[in-house]
Amino acid sequence: MATGPKLTPLQEVEARRAAAAADKPKRVISEEEKATRKDRVTKAKDALARSVGAKGDWVITGRAALKTYLQRLNEPKQPDDAQFEALLAAPFTPPPKKKTNDRRF
Higher pLDDT, residue 105 or 48: 48
Domain boundaries, the chain: 31-94
Full-model pTM: 0.62
pLDDT > 70: percent of the chain:
87
| CA distance linking residue 36 with residue 28, whole number of Å | 15
Residue type, 104: R
Judge whether residue 66 has pLDDT over 50: yes
pLDDT band at residue 1 under the 50/70/90 scheme:
very low
For 27-40, b where at least 16 C-beta lie within 10 A, e where not — what string? eeeeeeeeeeeeeb
